[in-house]
Structure 1
Amino acid sequence: MSNPAHQQWSLPASALSHQVDSKLFPFQATDELEHFESVLGQVRAVEALEFGVAMPRSGYNAFVMGESGTGRFSYVRRYLSKVAKEKPTPSDWLYVNNFEESREPHAIELPAGKGGEFCRDISNLIDSILAAFPTVFETPSWQQKKNQIDRVFTKRYDKVLDKIEKLALEKGIALYRDSSNIAFTPMFEGKALDEAEFAQRPEVEREQFHADVAVLEEILNTELSSLPLWKRESSNELRKLNEETISLALEPNLTPLAAKYAEFPSVLAYLQAMQANLLKTVVEQLVDEDLSDSLRRKLMEEQYSPNVLVGHAKNGGAPVVFESHPTYENMFGRIEYASDQGTLYTSYRQIRSGALHTANGGYLILEAEKLLSEPFVWEALKRALHSRQLKMESPLIELTRVATVTLTPQDIPLQVKVIVIGSRELYYALQELDPDFQDMFRVLVDFEEDVAFSAQRVMDFAQLIHTRTSEEGMAPLTAAAVKRLTEHSMRLAEHQHRLSANLSELFQVVSEADFIRHKEQAEITQVEHIEQAIKAKQARTGRVSQQIMEDILAGIILIDTEGAAVGKCNGLTVLQAGDSSFGMPARISASVYPGANGIVDIEREVTLGQPIHSKGVMILTGYLGGKYAQQYPLAISASIALEQSYGYVDGDSASLGEVCALISALANAPLQQCFAVTGSINQFGEVQAVGGVNEKIEGFFKLCQKRGLTGEQAVIIPKANVNNLVLSAEVVSAVEQGTFSIYVVETVAQALALLSGEEVGTLDAQGSYAPDTINGRVVARLKAIAEMAADKEE
């Protein structure tokens, strides 16, 4: 590769990587640094999040967009926790019994910390009630009043019976009464007759007796017609007495409670309803001698103890809730059921809160992928945010059509900021498919995949490493280790002037390096530990790449790294296997023959070529037509293939190699096989940047290294990719020593010149190429094919 004409396109070793200046790390170890509480370089995202959190109007919920591992979740949670401490603590919410309609429990709002206090007050009230009853019905005062009511009723009743008894005696009839019956018996000579004696009396006497009894019964019925009224009056008097007694017994306990919660109308309304209901409950339940004390207490708690749905510590700030499993019930709460002899039943005390209840008045963090995968949740969340009401429903029960009595709890006002974290694909899909999304999530917090390199950013990165290692109990890192991590971050970003925002992968390296340090019983993580951790991961995930390399070396996969051939060149590909990606060369071949089929992309014909690859071949066709078919038609048949490729092929990075192979076949110009080439082209023959350039170069370099570096082997890449070069030390060293080269090109002609070692040719004043150039031979070949086609037509 000593051709002077080629030196202008050759890259020096200094351009192959960004050697970070050690002066940017003015410390011995990271434990000397301060903690870093922000997020690395995400200025736009930080400002957007701050705006969304501070904006008080509805609809300004945030969608945090970016790739996993960029620190988006940890920063959002950390920032919200910091902001939430300065916010007022939201109210406690309780559900209480609705004594008029138990299926519609009432909600009570109390200041933070008051909910639990109110529950304790009610619990103490229940204790007092249980201690007071039924003993209040055993006092002499109550017994006297009850006896007086009974005497009034008995006196009325006895007065009627005395009157009837007097009339009966006048007719010689005796009146007998017990607790439940009244009977008339005939008398003779002052003595009551039994049935046998009565049967022996004359018939006239017997008939007279029956007639007299009929009259007496009619009078009795008339006199006792007011008996139900007397009983009702007696019952009312007794009920009134009980209510007065109960009220007097409850007043010492309820009055202080009413005074304590005088500023909360909903609590006062509940206490009044509770007092009214207790008048009935005490008589029906607490006076029942068959009930045990524990059962009495359970019955009281089920009717009167509030159900604290959400409680907060006083002065605890706004809540920050992350719901990792956003099912409908986990989000909106649920109503639990108990079974009694096969029948399901529930009550207000079996209402359970969801994440929205807990986060009400604060912030709720959700993961978009999980949120959208759960049935009913997304639509219900939008309804809640739009209405600002937290309604508890049971859609799953409705779907099962189980005939179960359920509850309709009173709605709770909702004021919450929802922060949804998801990928770019999901964000754009929601924008396109859901018309409500933009109105509900007006703030986009966009986390970039990489950030600009600067001295300040390097220090921020070092402080961030210190923060994470301190939090997780790992040893500090030396400045050299941080420098190596910074260079590795550039490699992940595939840019010499940017750092990767994928902090998760970087911290994984730190964690594995700390493990290696611990095994070696070192006190601090050195640069050698970082190197070992990086290489260990490559080794763990390198089985597939190693197998392919062995197949190439064994001649199973045909790749030449020396000699020259017509219509063949080495392309460069990036293969993905799990979380590992690696570069490998692949032979590109082209054949040309007379015909009118045009250029056939074999990959596309067998449906292995994906759309972007097929687009690259079509652009290639456009370039050839514009370049060579000005005087003669491009009346050829040609085929292009990526040899020994058995999977799907996508991307247009092979189009530069494909056009070079095709021109080689047309001009019968051999291409040097010691080169590998990557790059896409446009219809004007300009070479454009491609992805994965580092892996591609290193893949071909490893093959050449295995076969022996000759100094002629080289890789041709687009000039636009120079800033993306962050190559391994082995490649940089080989280039520095002159045993391997990397060339950059801007046009197809430059690539052809390198690959063929011949003059490509330019148009002269007459618009023709010199016949001894590659372009001249291509035009001559097209002319010959066109004349051949014309002769056949004649």
Structure 2
Amino acid sequence: MAIRELTYEQLRKKLNKKSLPFTSTDELKPLDTVIGQERALKALQLGLEIDASGYNVFVTGMSGTGRTTIIEKLLQDYSQKNKVPDDWCYVYNFADPDAPEALSLPPGKGRDFQQDMAQLIETLQMELKRAFTGEHYENQKNSIINKLNQEKRHLLQKLDEKAHKLGLKIQPTPMGFQTLVLLNNEPVTPEIFNGLSAKEKEKINRNIQEMENDIAETLRSLARLDIKAQKTLSQLDKDVANFVVEQYIKEIKDEYKSFPEVLDYLGKVSKDIVANTGAFLKHLDKEQEEEETDLLKSPFFKRYRVNVAVDNSRLKGAPVIFETNPTYNNLFGRIEKYPVQGGYATDFTMIKAGSLLKANGGYLMADALEALRNPFVYDTLKRSLRNKELRIEDVTDLYGTISIVSLKPEPIPLKLKVVLIGWNRIYQLLSGSDDDFSKIFKVKADFDYETDSTDKAILQYARFVKRVIDQEKLPAFERDAIAEIIQYGHRLAGGQRKISLEFGRIIRVIQQAAFWAQKENKKSVAAEDVKKAILEFENRHSLVKDKIQETIDRDIRKLIVHGEIVGEINALSVYDLGDFTFGKPGRVTAKTYIGSENLVHIERKAGLTGKIHDKGVYVLTGFFNSKFGDYMPISFSASLAFEQNYGKIEGDSASSTELYVLLSSLARAPIKQGIAVTGSVNQNGEIQAIGGVNEKIEGFFEVCKSKGLSGEQGVLIPASNVEDLALKDEVREAVKSGQFHVWAVDTVEDGLQILTGLPAGKRDKRGKFARNTIYFMVEKHMRELSERSEAYRKSVSEKHKKKTAPKKEAKATGRKEKPASPRRKKPPVKKGKE
């Protein structure tokens, strides 16, 4: 392809008026679809619609492309198609208090059940107290006690009668009964007893022994009566309590008869209240004495509470949760504690659900990087999704620290879709290092950062602006303002063929353009307001750029943009500050000389180059071998340097620049310093596309403008980058007026002719280059270097041979040969520090 100098029209995409068929955004409908993300949407739909294990989605792509907004809207749409999932409650485990039980109920029923249980306990507190203080209960209780007392009196009466027959008297004591001997109905004193005959004493002792046996039996009978009465009273209490409890709990059982787990729990509640009626009433009296307003908050009655961990009563479809801070507790829940003397304690009412449980039956979104930053999150998420259940655990257990009270709540079954959002390198890291990752996240949805700039996409862009205007209540945008925003979208995408999908940046321009328009009391936003918003943004972020330009203006950083010099050229680089990129030129110099080391790259020797840049340097060797190696040995050395550069150099966009300056040095052909160069080159000398072409051109233009535009300055770019141009108005106007130029080249030969004014040259049938061509002069100089190198090598070799050759014997001439004068020894050289 011939050398092309680009025209004003080629430096930015020309918008077709048909693609903007309106005069103001007031005439447009807001965008209700997604621009340019068909691939990602299909992947998301696949992951969300396949009802199989592991079909969770990992979303990649640049931030600011609207990923989160698009995913949230899509999930909300799917949410409306799905039913509302069940509520989940934790209740007291009467068999094992440290292992709370989980109950599922239809949405809204969890809160109802909680209230029903609270009402039940409140009712039972009143009714049980009424039942146990009522006349009927007192009569039954008194009847049992009276019967007990009657039977006791009967036993004691029989015992007393027998004692009387035996001449004894039974007297109750705190320890039981005391047997007294009577004589004439009066107790016998020890003196009287000692005065009795042996026969009388023996009889009395037999009677006492018989009486002691009867007393023991009577005491046992009394104890049996007490036990029987206690059992009867206990049974009475149970019967009364059971009657009251069943009377009121039956209503709840009828309400929840379709839920076997709830009925089973209610049965356990009934048994516990009946079995602990005494404690129930005792704690009731105690709490009332202390004026406790909510009895369910007291330690004893807390066991009858219902902890609604997940309440879906307000949902209209499946839950959609976006966890912005995916810590362990926020995702998987926590078990809170309360202080007690000597430490902390907990119970089932302090179990709190996390986002994973709240999203159960629906969809959970989270940032992958934030999740990975938090300890235990990724492994617990994997385990939960793999096992399809969630175990709420105390995070201190995972750290291995000792917990005062440790609960092991019953795990809850999981069925949900998890969408992680992150960088592509995070996806690659996880998929390459974790075998489980691809089994759990089987779908990757990759969001694009650009799309084809078609008439349809351009109109959608305008409707997107309309949507932002309506959402944020901004003034209308004129058509020319929309055109400037679209051109900005082209620039962000790096060219005319594509338009950016980084809507975060577009929204920023929309907001700031509206701000500048409103500040001037305009009713609508014009193109000049959009330009001002973009310019002001650049000014706010251009401190580094301005500092570099200042060093150029003060000649601290040496740059020449006028005249011609051999072996020097202006290269173009891009500085990326994250949210702002700009281009600036830098000088590349080359020196060629006799040698065999071939190409020496000073930056590479200093460790300032990256692998891609090093590859570009190796390509230069391939070019020389390809272009000249078939006709002569390549024998020269050269050094390349990026002058006044002390940072890392990466990329191969300067490889053509390095080739031009090497050829200039070898040909002794001066390069026009007003022309800067960018472009990659291959071994065949073909110029290849590079990135940042707009920033590079504008960066060199600013330097030329600062040092004075001559009308001969410009930039060489790869022809394949022409459709990537989206230059600023100032540069385009300078090109239009002939003050600045942009050339598009396909080959090194095209570039050489522009840079030196001489043709590169082409071999004729004899394999010779024409005189006064760059390649002729390069080849000639390389031959000269090779010949000098060979001559020097031969000279050194001859001297070495003469020095090491054996001396010939002297001919017999009758004369004595003079002895060789002894060589003077050189004094020893002292070594040391200079």
Superposition TM-score, scaled by structure 2 size: 0.91
Aligned to 2:663: 663
1:108 aligns with 2:107: no
1:414 aligns with 2:406: no
For residues 575 and 403 of structure 1, the distance between their equivalents in structure 2, rounded to whole angstroms, comes to 53
Which residue among 13, 19, 23 is the counterpart of 1:18? Answer: 13
1:279 aligns with 2:290: no
Aligned to 1:202: 194
For residues 531 and 608 of structure 1, the distance between their equivalents in structure 2, rounded to whole angstroms, comes to 38
Aligned residues: CA RMSD: 2.1
Tell me if structure 2 keeps the 8 A contact 1:285–1:296: no
* One-letter identity of the residue aligned with 2:692: G
* One-letter identity of the residue aligned with 2:194: P
1:376–1:315 distance in 2 versus 1, CA, 3 Å = closer
**Range that drifts further, 283-292 or 456-465:** 283-292
Aligned to 1:155: 150
* One-letter identity of the residue aligned with 2:428: Y
For residues 619 and 663 of structure 1, the distance between their equivalents in structure 2, rounded to whole angstroms, comes to 14
Aligned to 2:460: 460
For residues 501 and 451 of structure 1, the distance between their equivalents in structure 2, rounded to whole angstroms, comes to 7
For residues 534 and 577 of structure 2, the distance between their equivalents in structure 1, rounded to whole angstroms, comes to 17
Tell me if structure 2 keeps the 8 A contact 1:130–1:297: no
For residues 730 and 296 of structure 1, the distance between their equivalents in structure 2, rounded to whole angstroms, comes to 79
Aligned to 1:740: 740
Aligned to 1:500: 500
SS in 1 for 2:286: coil
1:90–1:325 distance in 2 versus 1, CA, 3 Å = same
Aligned to 2:65: 70
Deviation at 1:475, TM superposition (A): 2.2
Deviation at 1:226, TM superposition (A): 4.2
Which residue among 32, 38, 45 is the counterpart of 1:37? Answer: 32
Aligned to 2:378: 378
Deviation at 1:336, TM superposition (A): 1.5
Q: CA-to-partner distance for each residue in 1:342-393, whole Å, 9 max, x for gaps?
A: 2432221111101111001100011111112122211221222222112222
* One-letter identity of the residue aligned with 1:250: V
* One-letter identity of the residue aligned with 2:526: Q
Aligned to 2:714: 714
For residues 144 and 175 of structure 2, the distance between their equivalents in structure 1, rounded to whole angstroms, comes to 19
Aligned to 2:258: 263
SS in 1 for 2:476: coil
The structure with more radius of gyration: 2
SS in 1 for 2:485: helix
Tell me if structure 2 keeps the 8 A contact 1:286–1:296: no
Deviation at 1:439, TM superposition (A): 2.0
Which residue among 244, 247, 255 is the counterpart of 1:252? Answer: 247
Q: CA-to-partner distance for each residue in 1:703-726, whole Å, 9 max, x for gaps?
A: 111222211001001111111100
* One-letter identity of the residue aligned with 2:756: S
**Range that drifts further, 364-373 or 202-211:** 202-211
Tell me if structure 2 keeps the 8 A contact 1:186–1:198: no
1:318 aligns with 2:313: no
Aligned to 2:474: 474
Deviation at 1:187, TM superposition (A): 4.0
Which residue among 111, 118, 121 is the counterpart of 1:123? Answer: 118
Deviation at 1:152, TM superposition (A): 3.5
SS in 1 for 2:466: helix
For residues 428 and 434 of structure 1, the distance between their equivalents in structure 2, rounded to whole angstroms, comes to 10
Which residue among 290, 302, 310 is the counterpart of 2:286? Answer: 290
1:177 aligns with 2:172: yes
For residues 39 and 331 of structure 1, the distance between their equivalents in structure 2, rounded to whole angstroms, comes to 30
Q: CA-to-partner distance for each residue in 1:608-627, whole Å, 9 max, x for gaps?
A: 11111111111111111221
For residues 92 and 718 of structure 2, the distance between their equivalents in structure 1, rounded to whole angstroms, comes to 75
Which residue among 82, 89, 93 is the counterpart of 1:87? Answer: 82
For residues 644 and 494 of structure 1, the distance between their equivalents in structure 2, rounded to whole angstroms, comes to 29
Deviation at 1:184, TM superposition (A): 2.9
Q: CA-to-partner distance for each residue in 1:445-486, whole Å, 9 max, x for gaps?
A: 211110111122122111111112221232222222111100
Tell me if structure 1 keeps the 8 A contact 2:296–2:305: no
Aligned to 2:440: 440
* One-letter identity of the residue aligned with 2:227: R
Deviation at 1:192, TM superposition (A): 4.4
Deviation at 1:496, TM superposition (A): 0.3
The aligned runs of 1:550-699 (5 Å cut-off) are: 550-699=550-699
For residues 776 and 598 of structure 2, the distance between their equivalents in structure 1, rounded to whole angstroms, comes to 20
SS in 2 for 1:512: helix
* One-letter identity of the residue aligned with 1:434: D
SS in 1 for 2:5: coil
For residues 253 and 142 of structure 2, the distance between their equivalents in structure 1, rounded to whole angstroms, comes to 34
* One-letter identity of the residue aligned with 1:128: T
SS in 2 for 1:357: helix
**Range that drifts further, 434-443 or 109-118:** 434-443
Identity over aligned pairs, percent:
33
Tell me if structure 1 keeps the 8 A contact 2:563–2:673: yes
Deviation at 1:223, TM superposition (A): 3.3
Tell me if structure 2 keeps the 8 A contact 1:22–1:483: no
* One-letter identity of the residue aligned with 1:461: Y
Q: CA-to-partner distance for each residue in 1:301-321, whole Å, 9 max, x for gaps?
A: 411121111111266111000
Q: CA-to-partner distance for each residue in 1:575-622, whole Å, 9 max, x for gaps?
A: 123422111010000101111122111111111111111111111111
Aligned to 2:50: 55
Aligned to 2:809: none
For residues 359 and 593 of structure 1, the distance between their equivalents in structure 2, rounded to whole angstroms, comes to 72
Deviation at 1:332, TM superposition (A): 1.2
1:233 aligns with 2:225: no
Q: CA-to-partner distance for each residue in 1:3-52, whole Å, 9 max, x for gaps?
A: xxx98421111111012234422223223322222222212122222222
Deviation at 1:665, TM superposition (A): 0.9
Tell me if structure 1 keeps the 8 A contact 2:296–2:304: no
Which residue among 142, 147, 156 is the counterpart of 2:137? Answer: 142
For residues 656 and 508 of structure 1, the distance between their equivalents in structure 2, rounded to whole angstroms, comes to 37
**Structure 1 alignment gaps of length 5 or more:** 1-5
**Range that drifts further, 722-731 or 295-304:** 295-304
Which residue among 200, 218, 227 is the counterpart of 1:223? Answer: 218
For residues 640 and 426 of structure 2, the distance between their equivalents in structure 1, rounded to whole angstroms, comes to 37
For residues 411 and 403 of structure 1, the distance between their equivalents in structure 2, rounded to whole angstroms, comes to 20
Q: CA-to-partner distance for each residue in 1:204-234, whole Å, 9 max, x for gaps?
A: 5897767754442232113333444433322
For residues 185 and 37 of structure 1, the distance between their equivalents in structure 2, rounded to whole angstroms, comes to 108
* One-letter identity of the residue aligned with 1:368: A
**Structure 2 alignment gaps of length 5 or more:** 795-834
Aligned to 1:164: 159
For residues 26 and 207 of structure 1, the distance between their equivalents in structure 2, rounded to whole angstroms, comes to 137
**Range that drifts further, 294-303 or 216-225:** 294-303
SS in 1 for 2:739: coil
Tell me if structure 2 keeps the 8 A contact 1:18–1:726: yes
For residues 511 and 574 of structure 1, the distance between their equivalents in structure 2, rounded to whole angstroms, comes to 28
Tell me if structure 1 keeps the 8 A contact 2:237–2:277: no
